[in-house]
Structure 1
């Protein structure tokens, strides 16, 4: 079992816990932009004036220290304070009224590596707990908190607190993510900085191809390619039929199509020319594509053997945490809720008679959508799901509720008309979980008790 810091004081039994995670504040150049800063400041201001016995828990990855690659050690903290003075002053003000607890994630693991971070954060009334997990009492039960990176083999830190710990994810973020932040403003549109929103990272090639096609490609090339790619499936059929016609094997389809198009004069001739060009290109691609198919299939099988392609296993964001929750529930039966972050996917599900809760992220999220027809690249719809998880003891047991924080959708600004048109009717509608209660008695199903949507905080 991971190291756990317990907080079991009797006076905290009636406390209300507000939980957020995965803010990823800070990073090289364009990664330093915090799109949700105003919303975060508003939330902290409201929490400052609450009359509840509350505690704010920041459950890992508050800061993007991995992405600050040009400075070292505590200098990173100095840069954060200089870059976001309003945030740190608001943390200080909120922390005077409400306890603020911060535990490190993988992106800000350095917080656990240096004693001085405890003192520096304490200046802003933030209690840094240098532990892999913590617990808090709620009624006569407890809540277990961990960031969740220890369940991820690419980001697991075997020697927690070692300043030289460098899992695979560290190299990805210091070389790929940070570089994206440095290069993002060189594009036709400042999109590369959203690299942190691509989850799982196996989808990175698809995202890059999508953004190149819809954002960076020369518009004339794109508009010339769109009709062909939309008609690709039809073009392949036409190419096969044209081949059969040329060989004299089966001429009826081509002759019938020609006779039909001849009825429409110039318009029919134009359509005939377009279909002929598509068929010729498709035929050439078929000649090249057949050997290429067998080569790519062999490459794909090789990649699958190494387990680095996007598969059902790698895309499953919950399975490791379901197993971990069951272990915690068995080892610590008083635990009512297993709360984590890391995967950036807000969720709540029943595990046995308890709850598994993911606090999501305040970063932008991207939702892959395939186009309605043809072989065009997929479209990645952006959205925000800013949320706070509220946990408290109620008469029935332990209540968990997602409170959404409004932020306007970036879709109209960040997606082209072509992207929206090609995915018409397929735009995502992400929703936060509602409210659930882990009952005091061993009967009932917590997720069946209440499926109400929580009111969104304006």
Structure 2
């Protein structure tokens, strides 16, 4: 049957995280965002833009309170707000609070201030929209995350665990970032899950902050650690008189090269000695660490992660909504920064991703070098529109050059040659109106 939503189109973005203390105020995708809004300003479609949470990093402001944060945003990003006004004259713009900008739901003044820029701030946890004969459920997603869930929605003093992490860690990183050899600490928001933070800090210290002479002197040892560990074992067998052949043949082979061979033998011997000592210390420490972890797990001290990466809570929430409200076939959320699309009983689960950088961990192939966190952008807007077969959901990629050349040292780029990430967005998908199951469609 025909409805007034037969031609309604929705564009959905989330997790922009605009704003914050000092270095966090830099928006590296501002040109792409403005271009996207300019396109919607001139579109002939019957469209609505939904910004599905965490548009702004209000948790990351620690020097101002309440509605004063809007004043800072307005002063810092005047071009963006004027573009909101211009785009909002052509299409509807709806803004939904996330966890980082939950304060938008706590102060009614925000509604009036955004309305002046043609942005409709909805202070509810979720909204619904009709599309053709189906409906979409929108929520940011943090309410399914026990560490960022707001128990008293609209309470300006709500402070879940994630609040403390962002006010104490993320905002502080923004204040300190420009003190380093390179301005890298501001990318702390791109580190997900947050359990990777210690490894990321070690990686950036080694490749960015460590004295170059010290780093380059350590690289050969760290690269050869695996070989050195084997040599240490063989040397131990030689000293015990169990098996001397490998050591004797290696020494004989290198002696053919005179002083160069002697230097190489000395270098290998030094590496093997250090590796042997580390192995002797590391083996008992490994078993102690494993026993401590088992004990901690028994007591359930760390039953939940600081950031929920599992999609299970969202699948369960979507399945429940689809069962209770059969007209809803799409559950659209953000929060985890991972653009995904998957089937759930009764419909599909759609994650809109993030406009922040994404960091892809690349472990060393040999040795014990710290992993490299390779940066990329995966900017996208999800377009949801009716068509003859049902409702089409597709990711519109917004191109932005890779930041690797600026963010990675030569050493990091060298160790990741041939292993650069190629992030891909989900294919176009059609939720059929009369079918029991949605049917995927090859991307055009």
Given that 2:145 and 2:308 are in contact with CA atoms closer than 8 Å, whether structure 1 keeps it comes out as: no
Cα shift at 1:421 = 1.7
The question of 1:289 aligning with 2:282 is answered yes
The question of 1:117 aligning with 2:113 is answered no
Write the deviation string for residues 309-360 of structure 1: whole angstroms up to 9, x where unpaired.
998x977431111111111110110112110000001111111352110000
Given that 2:393 and 2:428 are in contact with CA atoms closer than 8 Å, whether structure 1 keeps it comes out as: yes
Cα shift at 1:413 = 1.4
User: Equivalents in 2 of 1:94, 1:302: separation in Å?
Assistant: 56
Cα shift at 1:271 = 1.6
User: Equivalents in 2 of 1:354, 1:123: separation in Å?
Assistant: 36
Give the 3-state SS of the residue equivalent to 1:392 in structure 2. Answer: strand
**Structure 2 vs 1, CA of residues 62 and 346 (structure 1 numbering), >3 Å: closer, same or farther?**
same
The question of 1:139 aligning with 2:132 is answered yes
Given that 1:353 and 1:438 are in contact with CA atoms closer than 8 Å, whether structure 2 keeps it comes out as: no
Give the 3-state SS of the residue equivalent to 2:28 in structure 1. Answer: coil
1:299-338 pair list within 5 angstroms = 299-305=292-298, 306=300, 308=302, 316-338=309-331
Partner of 1:417: 410
Cα shift at 1:304 = 4.3
Give the 3-state SS of the residue equivalent to 1:170 in structure 2. Answer: helix
**Structure 2 vs 1, CA of residues 303 and 200 (structure 1 numbering), >3 Å: closer, same or farther?**
farther
After TM superposition, the score normalised by the length of structure 2 is: 0.96
User: Equivalents in 2 of 1:151, 1:70: separation in Å?
Assistant: 29
1:5-404 pair list within 5 angstroms = 11-305=4-298, 306=300, 308=302, 316-404=309-397
The question of 1:451 aligning with 2:442 is answered yes
Deviates more, 1:222-231 or 1:196-205: 222-231
Given that 2:383 and 2:393 are in contact with CA atoms closer than 8 Å, whether structure 1 keeps it comes out as: yes
User: Equivalents in 1 of 2:337, 2:14: separation in Å?
Assistant: 9
Question: Structure 2, unaligned stretches of length 5 or more?
Answer: none
Cα shift at 1:253 = 1.8
The question of 1:442 aligning with 2:443 is answered no
Given that 1:26 and 1:63 are in contact with CA atoms closer than 8 Å, whether structure 2 keeps it comes out as: yes
Given that 2:326 and 2:346 are in contact with CA atoms closer than 8 Å, whether structure 1 keeps it comes out as: no
Question: Structure 1, unaligned stretches of length 5 or more?
Answer: 1-8, 454-458
Partner of 1:6: none
Give the 3-state SS of the residue equivalent to 1:338 in structure 2. Answer: strand
Give the 3-state SS of the residue equivalent to 1:11 in structure 2. Answer: coil
Aligned length: 442
Q: CA RMSD in A?
A: 1.8
After TM superposition, the score normalised by the length of structure 1 is: 0.93
